[in-house]
Each structure stands twice: as C-alpha cells, then as structure tokens.
Amino acid sequence: MTTLGTLYLVPAPLGDCALPSMLPEDVRLIANRLNHWVVENAKTARRILKAYDPDRVIAEIEMATLNEHTQEAELRPLLAPLLAGKDVGLISEAGCPGVADPGAQLVRLAHEQNIRVIPLVGPSSILLALMASGASGQRFRFHGYLPTDAQTRSSRLKELEGDSRRHQETQLFIETPYRNMALLDALLNTCRPDTLLAVACDLTTPTEQIISRTIASWKKQEKPELGKRPALFLIYAGH
C-alpha cells in the first residue's frame, strides 16, 4: 500500500525583501526538498523559490496551477502526487496559503483523502495588521473586498461599523491598490468621529507604514499616499 504524501502550506513574502528576515530556517529546508508544487502563479512562484536558494534548477520543479479560474473538476488531479506518496508544497500570492486564497479548496480535498496537511510559519498580513492596530484582537472578522459602487460601499461600511459597536468586534478588509484612496475617503466620510481606523501598508517591507487613529483625528492629518500599495483597513467602534 502506497504511503500518502504530505501537503505543506508554504508561506510567501509579502514584499520584495530578503526571506531569511521573516522565515525560519526549517521552512527554507522543507521548501528546498519539495519537487512538486501547486502554485497560484508560476512566474511568482519561481521567483519566491529562487529566493529560498535551492540547490537544484528551478525549471526542473513540477508546478501545477490553482487560482480563481480553476474549475472544480480540475482540483482532484492536483492531488495525484500526494496520492502517489510524494510531498507537495502549496504556495499563494496571498502570503499564507488558504487564507483569502483559492488554495483552501485543495486543503479541503486533501483532508477528505486523509492526506496530512502541515502549515508552515510565515507572515500573515491580516494578523500583522491586527496586532499593530490597537483594535480588539479578541473578536475580529475579515471581509475581503468591499463593494466598489460608492453608495453600496457606504452602506456596507455603516453596517460593519454598527456590527463592530454592537459586538466589540474589529472589522478588517482590503481593496485593490489603485482604489485605496477612494476607500480611505469613503471611510472618513462615512464612519463616526470616535471610530478607530487603522491602515497598514507594505507590511514587512522597508516602506511599511501603519497608522491607527480615530476618524476625527484622521481628518485633522494629511492623508498618506496609498495608491499602488498593498494595504489592509481595520475599523473598531467598540471602544
């Protein structure tokens, strides 16, 4: 009987900075011995794996693609190496595989087949932003992207702010970088003066910037330039 392989959830850097500064050595060692990978983007994955300084040619590593366009019928074939007893690495554009990431589908299928899943330690922008915000870490929810329509987005922000106040809960969300400033303006125009708003940009990179203050205080300060910068937004109205 063939022993099943292990699915390793391998973290990726959040920016173009040196891997040793954020990842434990054992993560690098595990990543460098894996010959089979499921990746969201092959070009990005090759760059990340090269940064791990492997002792073999990157082009010889087998890569299968799993992204938002992958159909359900295409998922199960990705388990083939694991079912054949070979270990596989899953890497994501999101930093942590399975978190706001299509890789979660593969993880679920692996569990259904009794394949061992091992998450490796690495940076999570969601938790780093929450840690640095000063908002509640006892109760929080991540919502991904908010509506792009201005009126619908404003209504959604009011709803999230109300939930935060009622449940003492931090609300986290993201936006496509080129729409960051529009979201910031919407937050300043919609939320109550005493609501805490935190914005965390370029986490773990040399240009990292984390600002956390009340809406009233935000309006008194010059707004940071957020265009083209990966950012997380947090609101907390429960204080």
Q: What is the spatial distance between Cα 187 and Cα 90, in angstroms, rounded to a whole number?
A: 35
DSSP 21-41: GTS-HHHHHHHHH--EEEES-
Tokens coding 176: 């496509």
* Residue 146 DSSP one-character state: P
* 116-119, strands of its sheet edge to edge: 62-65, 36-39, 88-91, 6-9, 116-119
Q: What is the spatial distance between Cα 35 and Cα 88, in angstroms, rounded to a whole number?
A: 7
- Cβ atoms of 122 and 11 within 8 Å: the answer is yes
For 107, 118, 138, the CA distances from 76, given in Å and listed in that order, are 11, 19, 37
- Per-residue confidence of the chain (239 residues) as pLDDT tens digits? 679 999 999 988 787 655 556 778 888 889 888 999 999 888 888 888 887 767 777 878 899 999 888 888 899 999 999 999 999 999 987 778 888 888 999 999 999 999 999 999 888 899 999 999 999 999 999 999 999 999 999 999 999 999 999 999 999 999 999 999 999 999 999 999 999 999 999 998 889 999 999 999 999 999 999 988 999 999 999 86
Rg (CA), the chain: 20
Three-class DSSP category at 120: coil
Domain architecture of the chain: domains with CATH: 6-119 (3.40.1010.10), 125-236 (3.30.950.10)
